[in-house]
Amino acid sequence: MTSAIEVRDLVVERGKRRVLRGLTCAIPRGSVTGLLGPSGSGKTTLMRAIVGVQRVRSGSITVLGEPAGAPPLRRKVGYLTQAPSVYADLTVRENARYFAALYGYDAATAERAVADVGLAGAGGQLVGTLSGGQRSRASLACAIMGEPELLVLDEPTVGQDPVLRDELWKQFHDLAGKGTTLLISSHVMDEAGRCERLLLIREGALIADDTPAAVREKAGTDDLDEAFLRLIRAQEVAA
C-alpha cells in the first residue's frame, strides 16, 4: 500500500515552544487513521502542517506525492478545523454552496454534503442560530463534499450525540471505501477502536504508530485507554 502522507523529521516551533520534535510517520492511502493524544500534544499542529498552513522549522511532508500545501493539492484535500470555520451569518446551504464553488463542485454536491452530515432539514437555517454540534457538522459538510482524496479532520465528532457519532464514523469508513484517505484527530479513546491505524503522540513525539490490535497486544491489554497509559508510562521509564 502506498502512502498518502509521509512526514519526515518534522520540527515545528510555535513561539518559543517546540511543538513537534522530529516526528516521522506515514499514513497509507484509503485508510482511516486516528491521531490521538492529550490536548496540547501537537495534534492540531501536525494537521495544520499536513494541509500546508503551518510554518515548519525543518523536516519534510509529502502529501499525495506533492510537498504539503502545493497548489495542485488545494482541490484534493479537505480540511476541517477544530473550531467550526463557517460563516455564522450565512445559512447552512449558502455556506456549503460557497465552499463547493471553491472546490469546483456544483450546488447538488453541496446539497448532498449537507444531507450527509444530517442537516438536510436545517439547510435554510443561519449557522449562527444552530446548536454547537450542528454548527460543527455544518463545518464538516464543507470539508467532506465531493469525496476529496485526503480528508484531514480535527476533532469532527466533538459535541455530537452517540447516534450521530456512530453515523459520522460509518460515513468516514464509506469514504475510505471509495478511496479517500482520512486522518482524524480525537482525544476520546473509545473512537480509537474505529480506526484502521492509530498514531499516538505526546508532547510532540510519536509513541505509537500501529493498528489498534497491535497497540492492544503490545501493551498487553484489551482496553485502549489502559493501553495508551501503559505505553506512555513505558516511554517515561525508558526516558
Partner 1 sequence: MSSRILGATIVRILRQLLHDPRTIGMLVVVPVLLLALLRFMYDDQPAVFDRVALVMLGVFPFVIMFLVTSIAMLRERTNGTLERLLTTRLGKLDLLFGYGIAFGVAAAVQATVAAAMAHWLLGLDTAGSIWLVILIAVVNAVLGVALGLFCSAFARTEFQAVQFMPVVAVPQILLCGLFVGREQMAGWLKAISDVLPLSYAVEALQQVGANAEPTGTLWRDLGIVSGCVVVALVLAAATLRRRTA
Which parts of this chain interact with partner 1 (CB under 8 A)? 13-15, 51-55, 69, 71, 74-75, 77, 79, 81, 83-91, 94, 97-99, 101-104, 126, 142
Q: Which three cell numbers stand for residue 104?
A: 469546483
Distance CA 165, CA 220 (A): 28
To the nearest whole angstrom, how small is the minimum distance from the Cβ of residue 81 to partner 1?
5
To the nearest whole angstrom, how small is the minimum distance from the Cβ of residue 134 to partner 1?
16
**Residues 12 and 53 sit within 8 Å (Cβ to Cβ):** no
To the nearest whole angstrom, how small is the minimum distance from the Cβ of residue 89 to partner 1?
5
Distance CA 148, CA 146 (A): 6
To the nearest whole angstrom, how small is the minimum distance from the Cβ of residue 55 to partner 1?
5
Shorter beta-carbon distance to partner 1: residue 88 or 120? 88
Shorter beta-carbon distance to partner 1: residue 91 or 186? 91
Shorter beta-carbon distance to partner 1: residue 133 or 212? 133
DSSP bridge partners of 197: 33
Shorter beta-carbon distance to partner 1: residue 55 or 178? 55
Q: Please name the residue ranges forming H helices in 132-204.
A: 132-144, 162-177
Burial class (CB in 10 A: 0-12, 13-18, 19+), 127: buried
